[in-house]
Amino acid sequence: MHSFTNRFNSTFEFCARLSFALTIILTPFRWRLVVWSRPHDPLYSDYTDFHLFASDIALLIMLLFWLGSLILHPRKILVGHWLIWVSLLGLTVAGWVSILGSADPILSVYHAVRFVFLLLFYLYTVNEIHTTRWVVIPVAIQVVIQSVVAIGQSLAQSSLGLGFLGEHTLDPNQSGISIVSMAGMRFLRAYGLSDHPNILGGCLVFGLILLLVVVLYGTKRQSLFASAGFLIAVVALVATFSRSAWLSLMVAASFLVVGEALARRWDSVNRVVWLAAASLLVVSPFLLQNLGAFEARANAGNVAQDNQMQERGYLLDAGNTLFVEHPMFGVGLGATALALKDRFETFRLDYQPPHFTLLTVVVEVGLTGGVFYFLLLAVPALVFLFRWQEIFNQPYLMGAMALLVGLFVVGLFDYYPWSYAPGRLWQWLAWGLFSVGTRKMA
């Protein structure tokens, strides 16, 4: 009987890990089931509809197998770094409390339930993901799949007929499709199988950060395979024209390289130098062929002539207004767009959350929730500040820290690490990996 139970438990544990890997692979996928269509014109339907994404299904299966394993083999559930756990728990509770003042209470309940599953995803990561291969291999598969599709879209300047996988129907001349305007032309930004080029750019850059960690700390064979994946993904990243993702990669990569230099591991630094040279070589043809699009996107750093930066400023002002008027409970988890519609009869942009994650957090869940979210950003930074010499010698923790740095940079310019399923999964995964890393360092 005992042998029978152990066999079933081992099967459940393996299936849970396999489902965890599948959750990561499917994270960027736009494919979804519309559980409840709730149109609120003129809002983008994704702000109000209830969805079940491919990654949600994999996550639910993972949790079911984990529950079965816990029943068969009861064991203590670790919560990771205590401040991260308390902050995540507090943030989850703040999401539920925000229902009290929500502009759309049912919508906030839907997102609050999602936050509970994210909390369980964090706990699973802390308790069951003990080796890096269960993260790195699925991430590599994720970025290669998305990169191949993204590069194909950019070259074809259209979708690839993969609608059954959730691909948007892409036509650069169609209204609502994300493009770069140059000299009267409309250049399509790569979507991959995600909902938007910025979301794809984020998922790619977070994957690139982890691949770079493998290049730095892995064996020669592991480094070679990671470099190959990196070179494919970096071309796709360029094709997204996501400036926040570009900046995120530069900052996170600099963090890792400086750490290696301070630790005097020059062999690792040389690997990155060679990888950077190879990356420049593979993206050069794309850059030269589409130089006008890159010049238009970069805009020579002139913010006054950058419409998107002006739009971000407008949304920040609107978000500040909502926060001042609803400081305690916020306007409700996930309800920012609807709250803006209710508050502003005239709005010169599409209703959407501010492109600054921390502001969107306090707008939706109030000041208390904002404090918990700020702690989730600050705790890793403080741990690094006081123990940086030890951390430089902890590859697992360095990888988690670099991923958190990348997410933080993206969060300065966009809201999807908080509002969209792909960004949330990456963010909660990063906090889970950080907690695992601190335990390994203890």
Residue 192 CA neighbour count, 13 Å, CB half: 32
Position 315 scores a pLDDT of 93
Give me the pLDDT at residue 300, please.
Answer: 43
3-state secondary structure at position 182: strand
SS3 state at 122: helix
Q: Quick: pLDDT tens for 380-422.
A: 999 999 998 888 889 999 999 999 999 999 999 999 999 999 9
Sequence-distant (6+) residues with CB within 8 A of 107 are: 38, 48, 332, 334, 335, 338
Question: Would you say 229 and 138 are in contact if contact means Cβ atoms under 8 Å apart?
Answer: no
Beta carbons within 8 Å of 288's beta carbon, 6+ residues apart: none
Q: What is the DSSP letter of 190?
A: P
The CB density around residue 117, as the number of other CB atoms within 10 Å, is 15
Q: What is the identity of the amino acid at 212? A: L
Residue 218 makes CB contacts below 8 A (sequence gap 6+) with 226
| pLDDT for 306 | 57
Question: What tokens were used for 73?
Answer: 């083999």
Distance CA 312, CA 309 (A): 5
For the stretch 73-99, what's the b/e string if a residue is b when 16 or more beta carbons lie within 10 angstroms of its beta carbon? eeeeeebbbebbbebbebbbbbbbbbb
Which residues does 395 contact at the CB level (< 8 Å), separation at least 6?
213, 216, 217
Which ranges of the chain have pLDDT less than 50? 300-301, 303-304
The tens digit of pLDDT for each residue in 114-157 reads 999 999 999 999 999 988 899 999 999 999 999 999 999 999 99
Q: Where are the beta strands (DSSP E) in 61-184?
A: 179-182
* Residue 442 confidence (pLDDT): 62
**CA distances to 37, 142, 249 from 358, in Å:** 28, 27, 20
151 three-state secondary structure: helix
Rounded CA separation 186/183 (Å) = 9
Half-sphere exposure of 142 (CA within 13 A, CB side): 31
Q: Taking a C-beta distance cutoff of 8 angstroms, is the pair 128, 158 a contact?
A: no
